[in-house]
Amino acid sequence: MKLIEYEKIGEKVYHHVLDNKLNIYVLPKRGFNKYFAFFATNYGGCDRRFALGGKWVDTPAGVAHFLEHKMFDTEEGNALMQLSLNGASPNAYTSTGITAYHFECADNFYDNLRILLSFVSIPYFTPESVEKEQGIIAQEILMGEDNPTRAVYQNLLRALYAHNPVRDPIAGTVESIAEITADTLYDCHKVFYNPSNMVLCVAGDLDAQKVIDTAREIIVQEAGELPQRDYGEPETLYPNKKKYEVNMEVAAPLFRMGSKFEQPDNGEEYFRFLLLGNLACAVLAGTSSPLYARMYAKGLINNRFGAGFSYVPGGMYACAVGESREPLQVMDEITAEADRISREGVDVQLFERLKKASIGNYLRDFDDMENITAYLADGHFKGYDPMKGLDYYDKISIDEIQRFISDAFNPERLAISIVWPNEADN
């Protein structure tokens, strides 16, 4: 077991790798009266095509999400109910690149940890339960198709990407999940839920060695081969489609505009670029920016407007999102401000103020055990240390912010997704 101390932020982390290659991170939070456990696999909605032993395998859209739903089934019953009866608040989610199972509790932590590690590592599926789940998830998919917020998000990804499977919903389609069988789930569990492709992160007033011993006791399977992943043909920096518009039941138009970037291969560079991109979006269009104030005063945006930088497997993207009667005018205002900044530069005082605010938000996350365990997991999978954020903030220059804004909000690289109200509603 290795102890890593971070003097700048006053935190420390215990790290250990079991013989089966499962990585464990323990963040001790002395005096805290709650505990949090986060058990994740480096497997998400985009991981549909992969290779093992040189052989390529294609799976239907939605398998990772379907598998997440079914993992709570055990021979003894339902693990979700078992955790709840034991005083825990459990949950799970599937994103484009990760599936995570977690719980929070005030006591019985080690008993709950055993339940979590057991049901996630020991699959139990039957043809009957899979068929039943297909009906449940099909209803979830159909309801999602009527969700304007989900539509404006998914359509931007379709506008930006020509090949990346992020174009498709994480839950798949009614047709794609109909192809999923119990054997599909067992096969994908064997590939992606092996210890070498997973990480356990816990936080609280805990004994790190006892956490490690508990994991060693429960996770008995051997390390598996890490799959090679295929996210489609290489993407250009230009959008697949400049504009994606649909009509739905909304009171006012919703919009989401963005541009894509290549993801750095190096994990540390990835983390630095993620911090830089979010800071740049705040400088351009955050609530403290002159652009935000002008657009708000004109009535172009409301308090639902925001801008940020995120990632998908195989890429990264900047975006601005909100609600506006004139979404194309909002786009014009943003690109005009980005052009001005590219010529005149970033206001130094604004940059320094927002940089300090970003650092403050980063430090506050260490008091949120769900956030920090998720960061530790993401850092492990992508090869960076989330506890070293201050080192990267120190190195972000105002010139880099200016270049990012110029690139991200260049009209040639931008795509926009709009959900307009139905004509009958106008």
Q: What is the pLDDT of residues 136-176, one digit of tens each?
A: 999 999 888 889 999 999 999 999 999 999 999 999 999 99
State the pLDDT at residue 221: 83
State the pLDDT at residue 267: 94
Q: Which residue has the tokens 């903030």?
A: 393
State the pLDDT at residue 65: 96
- pLDDT at position 424 over 70: no
CA-wise closest residue to 419 among 169, 242, 244, 246: 246
Q: Which residues are catalytic?
A: 68
In degrees and rounded to multiples of 5, residue 198 shows phi and psi of -130, 165
In the DSSP assignment, the letter for residue 383 is: T
Phi/psi region, residue 77 (left: phi>0; alpha: psi -120 to 50; beta: rest), is left
Question: Which residues on adjacent β-strands are paired with residue 387?
Answer: none
CA-wise closest residue to 162 among 257, 103, 239: 239
**Residues of the chain by 3-state class (helix, strand, coil), percent to 5:** 45, 25, 30
Mean pLDDT of the chain: 94
**How many C-beta atoms lie closer than 10 Å to residue 179's C-beta?**
14
- Going 182 to 184 to 185 to 190, the CA torsion angle's sign is positive
State the pLDDT at residue 224: 86
Distant-in-sequence, close-in-space partners of 229: CB < 8 Å, separation ≥ 6: 47, 49, 50, 313
- pLDDT at position 410 over 70: yes
Pairing of strands 315-323, 99-105: unpaired
Question: Which residues on adjacent β-strands are paired with residue 6?
Answer: 11
Q: How far apart are CA 193 and CA 86, in angstroms?
A: 25
- Calculate mean pLDDT across residues 393-414: 96
Which CATH class name applies to 243-425?
alpha beta
Distant-in-sequence, close-in-space partners of 273: CB < 8 Å, separation ≥ 6: 261, 264, 316
pLDDT digits 0-9 by tens, 119-133: 999 999 989 999 999
State the pLDDT at residue 141: 92
Predicted confidence band of residue 75 (pLDDT cuts 50, 70, 90): confident
Does 243-425 match 2-229 at the fold level? yes
State the pLDDT at residue 423: 79
CA distances 2 to 54, 220, 382, Å, are 35, 22, 20
Structural contact between residues 119 and 79, judged by C-beta atoms closer than 8 angstroms: yes
State the pLDDT at residue 220: 84
Rounded to two decimals, the pTM is 0.93
- Calculate mean pLDDT across residues 299-309: 96
Q: Which residue has the tokens 């989900």?
A: 150
State the pLDDT at residue 266: 93
Share of the chain above pLDDT 70, in %: 99
Residue 239 in 3-state DSSP? coil
Q: Which residues of 304-330 are buried (b: 16+ CB within 10 A; e: fewer)?
A: ebbbbbebbbbbbbbbbbbbbebbeeb
Predicted confidence band of residue 367 (pLDDT cuts 50, 70, 90): confident
In the DSSP assignment, the letter for residue 110 is: H
Domains of the chain, residue spans:
2-229, 243-425
Judged by average pLDDT, the poorest of 54-58, 109-113, 148-152, 269-273 is 54-58
In the DSSP assignment, the letter for residue 423 is: G
State the pLDDT at residue 425: 55
Fold of 2-229: Cytochrome Bc1 Complex; Chain A, domain 1 (3.30.830)
- pLDDT at position 29 over 60: yes
Q: Which amino acid is at 37?
A: A
Q: Which residue has the tokens 């509790």?
A: 105
Q: Which two tokens stand for residue 200?
A: 């356990």
- pLDDT at position 426 over 60: no
- Calculate mean pLDDT across residues 249-264: 96
Distant-in-sequence, close-in-space partners of 414: CB < 8 Å, separation ≥ 6: 239, 242, 257, 258, 259, 331, 335
Structural contact between residues 74 and 411, judged by C-beta atoms closer than 8 angstroms: no
